[in-house]
Copies of this chain bind each other. A is one copy, B any other.
């Protein structure tokens, strides 16, 4: 999947993500499937399709795209209500209906009817899971970049690493996606001179997880922020990364390289380390 040109070409199919909720599930899943194809797609989100009027409106949009493109649009949908789904299915698209495809076989397997609730499990703002996620986001923000030593006992994980090794976005993703309370602390030249972890972290060593990064990649990232600075110089990046890795080895801290990994991949790896089996919810 790659960026579509502004002008539509015969090969650029239109893809619709249609949902009675936010459409995030349909879109996440659709992206994952479309990534398998080296083609360009025009993408249109239609969230909150929760009435017959809106379903008919969606039907018209799909048929309009068909007329315009001369090709069937592809539709990823998570419409729980059968009457809405039925309307959209009348359109001239190729239908990938995630609910019908999987919920009906599951009803058979589980021997119960589905409740036809809408959307992701954590769209319910009353659920414990949702409250935990919001609490984790607030915790991770309050403990970003070594801002606070307070309540570290509550942290699920404490990320350490040199400045710009990926700690902040990873902490926020862990909180948002998994409800993990993730604090993060920079390892800075002062720590290397003292040859000690930042104060206050020692007693939580079992919760610490390190991020490292290739010095040339780090220099690239830092140069975008402070071009030509000593902070961004390759020699300095080499020094900091080397010292940080030395410290983590000495302290027996688990760590991984963030160089070629997305925040999703880093987070999923850390999650495996800190709780390999997730048995709640």
- Measured CB to CB, the residues of A under 8 A from B are 1-4, 6, 13, 21-25, 28-29, 31-39, 41-45, 47-48, 72, 74, 78, 80, 94, 96, 98-99, 101-103, 105-106, 109-110, 112, 114-117, 119-125, 128, 130, 134, 137-138, 141, 144, 168-169, 172-173, 176-177, 260-265, 267-269, 271-272, 277-281
Contacts and interface: CB of A to CB of B under 8 A. Distances in A.
A268 B37 contact: no
Contact of A262 (B28, B130, B265, B279): B130
A78 B48 contact: no
A40 B126 CA distance: 18
B137 A169 contact: yes
A4 B45 contact: no
A155 to B, nearest CB: 18
Contacts of A29: 25, 28-29, 98
16 contacts: A3-B280, A22-B265, A22-B267, A24-B264, A25-B28, A25-B29, A28-B28, A32-B120, A36-B116, A42-B279, A45-B271, A47-B272, A72-B109, A123-B265, A125-B262, A141-B172
A268 B24 contact: yes
Given A47-B272, A128-B3, A279-B4, A121 B34 contact: yes
In this complex, the member of A94, A98, A268 whose beta carbon has the largest number of chain B beta carbons within 10 angstroms is A268
Q: How many copies does the complex hold?
A: 2
A268 B116 CA distance: 21
A272 to B, nearest CB: 7
Nearest to A125: B262
Given A45-B271, A98-B29, A172-B176, A80 B280 contact: no
Contact of A106 (B31, B37, B169): B37
Contacts of A116: 36
Contact of A31 (B41, B45, B120): B120
Nearest to A2: B281
A141 B171 CA distance: 12
A110 B113 CA distance: 35
A278 B44 contact: yes
A102 B33 contact: yes
